[in-house]
């Protein structure tokens, strides 16, 4: 079994020293990723490609291909069968050479092109007395004569017959698979990427990995430990699939629960989202000061109110470190599509967001002096305590520390009965705007007080948490379940 790896196009246009450095690094990364097949493969670094030669590994094609297609720096790779271009004693007689290639192509492609359209494509390098087009015409004509009901179609055919000719060898391509492209990991410096587990943060993190950056993950925990688990699963998925396994990526957690409570009780609702992101950047900058060259954020221009140019300008004033936004020009659908390609879509679909701190009328063009004045309402000690809460773990060590988050789901109630008690966890302003009218008892406890006040309720009773979107109800219900409270369900209006 043999694979020919073609490096990403951006690498091929670099200067000779840089190109050599990239391909050498990519070869090293490939060896590391394929380490599980130790003793059964060799990686050969060449100027224009990388050859991977495997010993007999039956039924391993799918696993090998799933690894190679996720390694940054690979433009594409081909599974091939290799043959000598000439047998000993033969001269450069084109008819002999072409017939030999036609026979091998027929063995693999003849059944595939039957009742289909096809085209032959040859990629040739080396000193030969024939051209790629000469070989394409000869093999194409021979296949057409031998096949049943096949037709040649030069544009958008059903089957592409792919042949590689390299010096004194030729290769029949069994499959041609697109890679991640861009640059090999370790080609760029270290960055720390803010990650929340949603669509945007997973894609922005991946975007920096495929540009060759060494990425560590920074998570601001606003709510509870189960949310942290879900985000860790996303980080683990990205690290395992797109980084290099021996790179000890770090997952950094900062407890921001007190910050959230301070924002909700002391800051005008118009500026909460902006100040929250400024505080995140302040902490990120403190972390990055000695270890990272840049902070990566998932902002997309005007996707939400805090992501206007005016607001991002105000937010970035909180950081002394370079802030990168790889998704700045992406629309939401583009981001969602990429999340499907990289495997983070299913995580993001079930990931809660911190919408609870965003007002229904957030500022879209905040002035720095106003924001700074609002920030004065929160004592510096709050951020100092948040920074001191910092935890650092290696991604490879954390994935098994919890049971699956799916095991912690809460029951959903749509139809109320006489003995139900609803806890309305919305803020007072939202309750007035959208009053909840039901025929059961309602207890009003704002979500930022639920952690402290729920334990004082009669624990012999069942409680139904309610908020408009259901996100915060689920968050805090699961949080309290982790604390040992099993008398919580979620209420949702039909």
How far apart (Å, rounded) are the C-alpha atoms in residues 300 and 306? 10
Report the pLDDT value the prediction gives residue 391, as an integer from 0 to 100.
Answer: 93
User: Is the CB of residue 390 less than 8 Å from the CB of residue 217?
Assistant: no
Give the pairing type, strands 2-7 and 50-54: antiparallel
The two tokens of residue 384 are 């100092």
Residue among 22, 213, 355, 467 flagged as catalytic: 467
d(CA 54, CA 228): 40
The pLDDT of residue 35 is 83
Q: Any residues with CB less than 8 A from the CB of 429 and at least 6 apart, and which? A: 269, 360
Can you give the pLDDT at residue 354?
A: 56
CA distance 74 to 317: 37
Find the angle CA(218)-CA(223)-CA(226) to the nearest 5 degrees: 80
What is the DSSP track for 411-422?
PEE-S--TT-EE
Tokens 């041609």 locate to 176
Q: Say how far apart CA 222 and CA 36 lie, in whole Å.
A: 38
The pLDDT assigned to 330 comes to: 93
pLDDT tens per residue, range 375-395: 999 999 999 999 999 999 998
**Contact, 204 vs 327, CB < 8 A?**
yes
Instruction: Report, as ranges of residue numbers, the positions in the chain whose pLDDT lies below 70.
Output: 57-58, 87-92, 223-226, 245-246, 350-360, 398-408, 448, 469, 471-472
Q: What is the pLDDT of residue 360?
A: 62
pLDDT at 465: 93
Residue among 243, 189, 343 at smallest CA distance from 29: 243
148, 150, 159, 125: which is closest to 6 by C-alpha?
125
Judge whether 352 and 474 are in contact, CB under 8 Å: yes
Is residue 467 part of the annotated active site? The answer reads yes
pTM recorded for the entire structure: 0.71
Whether 368 contacts 317, CB under 8 Å: yes
What number of other Cβ atoms are within 10 A of residue 341's Cβ? 11
Residue-by-residue DSSP string for 258-292: HHHHHHHHHS-GGGHHHHHHHHHHHHHHHHHHHH-
Which helix (H) or strand (E) segment holds residue 57: the answer is: none
Q: How far apart are CA 286 and CA 449, in angstroms?
A: 29
- The full set of domains in the chain, from first to last, is 2-178 (3.30.2130.30), 190-405 (3.40.50.620), 409-491 (3.40.250.10)
């Amino acid at each position: 079994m043999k694979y020919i790896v073609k490096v990403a196009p951006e690498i091929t246009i670099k200067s000779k020293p840089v190109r050599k450095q990239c391909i050498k690094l990519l070869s090293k990364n490939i060896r590391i990723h394929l380490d599980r097949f130790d003793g059964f493969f060799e990686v050969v670094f060449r100027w224009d490609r990388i050859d991977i030669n495997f010993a007999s590994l039956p039924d391993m094609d799918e696993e090998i291909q799933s690894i190679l297609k996720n390694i940054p720096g690979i433009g594409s790779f081909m599974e091939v069968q290799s043959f000598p271009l000439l047998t000993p004693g033969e001269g450069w007689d084109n008819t002999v050479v072409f017939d030999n290639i036609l026979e091998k192509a027929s063995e693999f492609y003849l059944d595939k092109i039957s009742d289909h359209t096809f085209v032959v494509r040859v990629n040739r390098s080396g000193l030969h007395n024939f051209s790629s087009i000469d070989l394409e015409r000869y093999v194409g004509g021979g296949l057409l004569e031998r096949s049943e009901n096949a037709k040649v179609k030069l544009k958008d055919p059903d089957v592409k017959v792919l042949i590689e000719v390299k010096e004194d060898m030729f290769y029949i391509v069994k499959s041609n698979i697109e890679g991640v492209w861009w640059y090999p990991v370790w080609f760029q410096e270290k960055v720390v990427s803010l990650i929340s587990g949603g669509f945007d943060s997973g894609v922005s993190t991946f975007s920096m990995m495929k540009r060759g950056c060494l990425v560590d993950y920074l998570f601001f925990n606003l709510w509870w430990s189960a949310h942290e688990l879900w985000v860790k699963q996303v980080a683990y998925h990205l690290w395992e699939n797109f980084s290099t396994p021996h790179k000890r990526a770090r997952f950094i957690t900062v407890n921001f629960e007190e910050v959230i409570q301070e924002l909700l009780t002391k800051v005008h609702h118009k500026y909460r989202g902006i100040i929250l992101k400024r505080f995140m950047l302040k902490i990120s900058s403190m972390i990055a000061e000695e270890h990272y060259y840049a902070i990566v954020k998932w902002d997309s221009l005007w996707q939400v109110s805090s992501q206007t140019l005016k607001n991002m300008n105000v937010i970035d004033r909180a950081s002394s470190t370079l802030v990168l936004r790889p998704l700045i020009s992406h629309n939401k659908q583009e981001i969602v599509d990429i999340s499907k390609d990289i495997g983070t879509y299913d995580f993001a679909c079930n990931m809660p967001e911190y919408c609870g701190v965003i007002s229904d009328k957030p500022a879209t063009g905040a002035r720095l002096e106003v924001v700074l004045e609002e920030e004065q309402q929160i004592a510096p000690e709050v951020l100092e305590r948040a920074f001191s809460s910092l935890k650092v773990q290696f991604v490879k060590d954390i994935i098994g520390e919890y049971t699956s988050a799916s095991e912690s789901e809460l029951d959903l109630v749509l139809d109320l009965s006489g003995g139900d008690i609803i806890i309305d966890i919305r803020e007072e302003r939202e309750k007035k705007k959208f009053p909840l009218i039901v025929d059961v008892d309602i207890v009003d406890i704002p979500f930022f007080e639920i952690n402290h006040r729920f334990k004082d309720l009669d624990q012999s009773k069942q409680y139904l948490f309610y908020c408009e979107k259901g996100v915060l109800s689920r968050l805090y219900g699961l949080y309290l379940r982790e604390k040992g409270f099993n008398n919580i369900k979620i209420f949702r209006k039909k």
